[in-house]
Amino acid sequence: MLKLGGFAVSNYYNKVKVALLEKGIAFEEAFCMTSQDEAFLKRSPMGKVPYLEIDGQFLCESQVICEYLEDRYPEKPLYPKHALERARVRELIGIMELYMDMVARRVYAQAFFGGTVSDEIKKQVEQDLAKGVRAFKQLAKFSPFVAGANLSYADCAAGVHLPLVSLSTKIVYGRDALEDCAPVKPYLKMLNERPAFKKMNDERKAASEAMAAARAKKG
């Protein structure tokens, strides 16, 4: 049985989790937080989540894990058939992760964890994120899925990254960086009507509430 390591509040963990659910692959969840401890680095060399345990071996990086899932479980594909269309799915994922989530992530400490971020970083993030959002708007199809007619790994990524980019920028800048991209809201609503996305999101919300309660208890 595959074991997915990480926690249900992590967007990268949830990207893989929703792909597993959509593909109907049996898996167990192995709760763990990120860590730089020697023992954890044996599972995930960068100390990040998620990782996937496969017969006692460990694989890290969410996109690499998705590629493995597609190769190993080709039934119910989450990539289109043709090479260029497959590349388009990866292109969208790259834009969302490298130029949107990874950029907005620099203000997540302030948005979600009670930290503060310097004005300089906020300004830089705002500028860089505008380029990522522009590229996303240029490439996203919403017809009805983000890369075209069929559900793909780009939707697994969009369904977990876009809400975080929206929420974090709304909190930090008072303006949702995706507010000019009108199809995003109905698209996310449509995704969340799918049982796999609903399950992932229900479990994310429960885990997030539990984490907030534990933090409040700690003081």
Ligand X SMILES: N[C@@H](CCC(=O)N[C@@H](CS)C(=O)NCC(=O)O)C(=O)O
Closest contact distance (angstroms) between CB of 12 and ligand X is 4
Bond before 163 cis per omega within 30 degrees: no
Told to check if 93 binds ligand X by CB under 6 A, we report no
In whole angstroms, how close is the CB of 93 to ligand X at the nearest point? 9
Which residue has the CB atom at the shortest distance from ligand X?
48
Give which of 59, 177, 20, 172 is closest to 106, Cα–Cα.
172
Minimum distance from residue 16 beta carbon to ligand X (Å): 8
- For residue 102, how many other CB atoms are within 10 A of its CB? 13
User: Using the rule CB under 6 A, which residue among 10, 166, 169, 201 binds ligand X?
Assistant: 10
Task: Considering only residues 118 through 137, tell me which ones interact with ligand X, judged by CB under 6 A.
Answer: none
Q: Does 115 bind ligand X (CB under 6 A)?
A: no
What b-and-e string marks burial along 200-215, b requiring 16 or more CB atoms within 10 Å of the CB? Answer: bbeebeebeeeeeeee
Radius of gyration of the chain (CA): 17
Contact 156, 78 (CB under 8 A): yes
Decide: helix, strand or coil at residue 45: coil
Q: φ, ψ for residue 152 (rounded to 5)?
A: -145, 180
Site for ligand X in 50-69 (CB under 6 A): 61-63
Beta strands in 56-197 (DSSP E): 57-60
Minimum CB distance to ligand X smaller for 41 or for 149: 41
Least Å distance, CB 142 to ligand X, is: 23
Q: How far is the CB of 49 from ligand X (least distance, A)?
A: 5
Q: Of the two residues 108 and 136, which places its CB atom closer to ligand X in the complex?
A: 108
- Number of residues located near ligand X, criterion CB under 6 A: 10
Distance in angstroms (rounded) separating the CA atoms of residues 118 and 110:
10
Q: Which of 34, 116, 127, 143 binds ligand X (CB under 6 A)?
A: 34
CB of 182 to ligand X, least distance (A): 27
Nearer to ligand X, 167 or 190 (CB): 167
Residue 49 binds ligand X, judged by CB under 6 A:
yes
Cα 184 to Cα 163: distance, rounded to the nearest angstrom: 9
Binding stretches for ligand X (CB under 6 A): 10-12, 34, 47-49, 61-63
